[in-house]
């Protein structure tokens, strides 16, 4: 290297550059331990860091806008903006020469090793499909869109795919919906409008409602039709892929790995697939793959011989032999990565009348010779499409020692609207195997294996078992409560000596004193909307804002 006085760098810039690389090398010390280095101590990293710094001084000018050229080596990402750097270096043990070393980007998650170039924030557009009217989730969808249904005491369903996107560096997100979207719009604007995109202000979470136009006077007819109607907007973005997601699934997924697999396989479409055993497989759309993981056949909820014909070798997608024997089927999760050109070609030219991705567009793409690849996701995933599935998913977070789905993962948190509520107040209550949301007031009662939503008020003597309470949108003042008492009204919350078992109590419900919601007769299905409740799959669901008078037995 030539004398330093020939460079335009000042001493302070060199020190700053060195300190950045050295700090990041320390973060990567675990990965570097596998290299052939004579010394594994921290001091052994000093010459390596210095060599990287000197190499940067000679070959890379100061990049003030901190953008990365596609020709550059991958950046180390640790929650800050990427900085351009030349290829990392290692020590050749025999010749004592510095040689290039390939290092993957490292995220906060210990299992995540991805290196997207260009990165997902610049090259991927997230599209979350809000779903239809949500009739199977009724009455929870009576006054709200399906993605706006409360979840896990503090959250809403839409927070799951949005958080997965943000944790995966996908910051450009559209949410498509057409039913009861007011509460969804309000939640998204309060939760995500003020902190997206960083200093470049490029990120957003925006709702796109179904609309009529001179070219298309119809509402959304399906998933593919919804995307087609907004293609004019989506194609304006300078991106490489569309990430198409559902708004009613509960899971945690690193989409960067998903997108990287799509790029490495040079696929037109990549479908996220869930391994299945024979018992569950009959309830899903199944896929068959070849030796390269390319999808060659689809079957919708097959049974008998048709089911056996859909068996695949799931070791191709990464399962070990033991798991592959247990899970010989793969089901589509309804989560896709489309290359931009493939999406435009399929929806506009090849299948202009197709309404659904899963049953029409993607099987059609395989038939016309496009490369449709499977990507295995082997983790917890639940389709929150029915009352029973919604109930089980919520109570699953109370499971011990490990819940089905955890909201406590530091590396991939679930975000939601900041409500600035006080801590929950609990007075002499017996609470076991339960989750309690923010701002609750719980008095001298017993709660077991239940989820209690924010602002819930539970009075003395109440018993809550195997139930989901969604809480309330607001607190009633003492004057409100006095007025209600004077006119024989019932305040929001659970009344004295009420007994609730295996039930869902929607927001702002007013449950009177001595009420019993226990489904004593074991009724499986009934619709009593005028009385304020439904029973589906044996689960009693009290409608939002419903009033259950004192002494009632359901």
> Per-residue confidence of the chain (554 residues) as pLDDT tens digits?
444 343 334 444 444 444 444 444 444 444 444 333 333 333 443 444 444 434 433 333 333 333 333 333 223 233 333 333 333 333 333 333 333 333 222 223 344 466 788 889 899 999 999 877 778 899 999 989 889 999 999 999 999 999 999 999 999 999 998 888 888 889 998 888 765 655 455 789 988 888 767 767 677 888 888 999 899 999 999 999 999 999 999 999 999 999 999 999 999 999 999 999 988 898 888 999 998 899 999 988 888 889 999 999 888 888 888 888 889 999 999 999 999 999 999 999 999 989 889 889 999 999 999 999 999 998 999 999 899 999 999 999 998 888 989 998 888 999 999 999 999 999 999 999 999 999 999 999 999 999 999 999 999 999 999 999 999 999 999 899 899 989 989 999 999 999 999 999 999 999 999 999 999 889 999 999 999 999 999 999 999 999 999 999 99
- Listed in order, strand segments (DSSP E) in 420-465 are 425-427, 430-432, 435-436, 441-443, 446-448, 451-452, 457-458, 463-465
For 280, the token pair is 């569950």
Q: How far is CA 282 from CA 253, 329, 387, 486, in A?
A: 24, 10, 20, 57
Alpha helices in 368-496 (DSSP H): 387-395, 478-486
CB 96 within 8 A of CB 37: no
Task: Specify whether the CB–CB gap between 118 and 70 falls below 8 A.
Answer: yes
Q: What is the rounded CA–CA span in Å between residue 316 and residue 178?
A: 39
Predicted pLDDT at 343 = 95
- 122-158 burial, b at 16+ Cβ within 10 Å, e below that, comes to bbbbbbbbbbbebebbbbbbeebbbbbbbbbbbbbbb
Residue 545's Cβ-side half-sphere holds a number of Cα atoms within 13 Å equal to: 5
**Tokens (6 digits) for 277:** 């055993």
Residue 49, both tokens? 């860091």
DSSP 147: G
For residues 76 and 103, give the distance between their C-alpha atoms in angstroms, rounded to a whole number. Answer: 8
In this prediction, residue 90 carries a pLDDT of 35
Provide the strand spans (E) within 155-255: 155-156, 172-177, 204-209, 241-246, 249-251
- Cα dist from 354 to 166, 363, 397, whole Å: 30, 11, 38
For residue 372, give Cα distances in angstroms to 266, 340, 348, 542.
10, 14, 18, 44
Q: How far apart are CA 263 and CA 335, in angstroms?
A: 16
3-class SS of residue 321: helix
Place of tokens 């990427």: 82
Nearest CA to 151 out of 400, 435, 411 is that of 435
Residue corresponding to tokens 């409008």: 193
């Amino acid at each position: 290297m030539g004398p330093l006085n020939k460079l335009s760098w000042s001493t302070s810039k060199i020190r700053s550059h060195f300190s950045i690389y050295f700090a990041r090398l320390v973060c990567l010390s675990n990965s570097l331990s596998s290299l052939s280095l004579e010394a594994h101590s921290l001091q052994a990293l000093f010459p390596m860091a210095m060599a990287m710094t000197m190499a940067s001084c000679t070959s890379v000018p100061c990049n003030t806008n901190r953008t990365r050229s596609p020709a550059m080596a991958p950046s180390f990402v640790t929650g800050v903006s990427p900085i351009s750097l030349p290829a990392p270096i290692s020590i050749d043990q025999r010749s004592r020469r510095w040689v290039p070393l390939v290092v993957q980007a490292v995220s906060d998650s210990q299992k995540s090793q991805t290196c997207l170039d260009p990165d997902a924030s610049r090259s991927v557009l997230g599209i979350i499909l809000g779903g239809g009217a949500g009739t199977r989730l009724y009455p929870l969808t009576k006054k709200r869109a399906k993605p706006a249904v409360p979840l896990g005491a503090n959250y809403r369903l839409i927070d799951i795919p949005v958080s997965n996107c943000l944790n995966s560096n996908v910051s450009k997100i559209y949410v498509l919906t057409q039913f009861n979207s007011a509460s969804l719009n309000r939640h998204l604007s309060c939760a995500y409008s003020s902190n997206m995109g960083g200093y470049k202000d490029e990120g957003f979470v925006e709702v796109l409602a179904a609309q009529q136009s001179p070219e298309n006077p119809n509402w959304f007819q399906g998933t593919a039709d919804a995307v087609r109607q907004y293609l004019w907007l989506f194609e304006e973005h300078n991106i490489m892929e569309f990430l198409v997601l559902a708004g009613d699934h509960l899971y945690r997924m690193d989409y960067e790995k998903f997108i990287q697999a799509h790029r490495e396989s040079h696929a037109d479409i990549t479908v996220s697939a869930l391994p299945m055993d024979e018992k569950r497989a009959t309830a899903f759309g199944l896929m068959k793959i070849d030796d390269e993981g390319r999808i060659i056949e689809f079957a919708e909820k097959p049974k008998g011989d048709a089911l056996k014909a859909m068996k695949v070798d799931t070791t191709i997608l990464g399962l070990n032999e033991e798991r592959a024997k247990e899970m010989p089927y793969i089901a589509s999760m309804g989560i896709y990565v489309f290359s931009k050109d493939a999406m435009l070609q399929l929806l506009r030219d090849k299948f202009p009348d197709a309404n659904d991705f899963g049953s029409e567009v993607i099987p059609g793409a395989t038939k016309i010779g496009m490369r449709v690849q499977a990507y295995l996701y082997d983790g917890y995933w639940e389709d929150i499409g029915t009352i029973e599935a919604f109930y089980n998913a919520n109570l699953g977070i109370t499971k011990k020692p490990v819940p089905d789905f955890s909201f406590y993962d530091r590396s991939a948190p679930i975000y939601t609207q900041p409500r600035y509520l006080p801590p929950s107040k609990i007075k002499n209550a017996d609470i076991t195997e339960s989750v309690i949301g923010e701002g609750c007031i719980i008095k001298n009662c017993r709660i077991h294996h239940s989820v209690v939503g924010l602002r819930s008020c539970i009075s003395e003597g109440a018993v809550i078992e195997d139930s989901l309470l969604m809480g309330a949108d607001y607190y009633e003042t003492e004057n409100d409560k006095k007025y209600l008492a004077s006119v024989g009204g019932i305040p929001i919350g659970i009344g004295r000596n009420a007994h609730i078992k295996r039930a869902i109590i929607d927001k702002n419900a007013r449950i009177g004193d001595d009420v019993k919601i226990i489904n004593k007769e074991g009724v499986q299905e009934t619709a009593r909307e005028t009385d304020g409740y439904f029973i589906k799959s044996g689960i009693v669901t009290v409608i939002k804002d419903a009033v259950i008078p004192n002494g009632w037995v359901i």
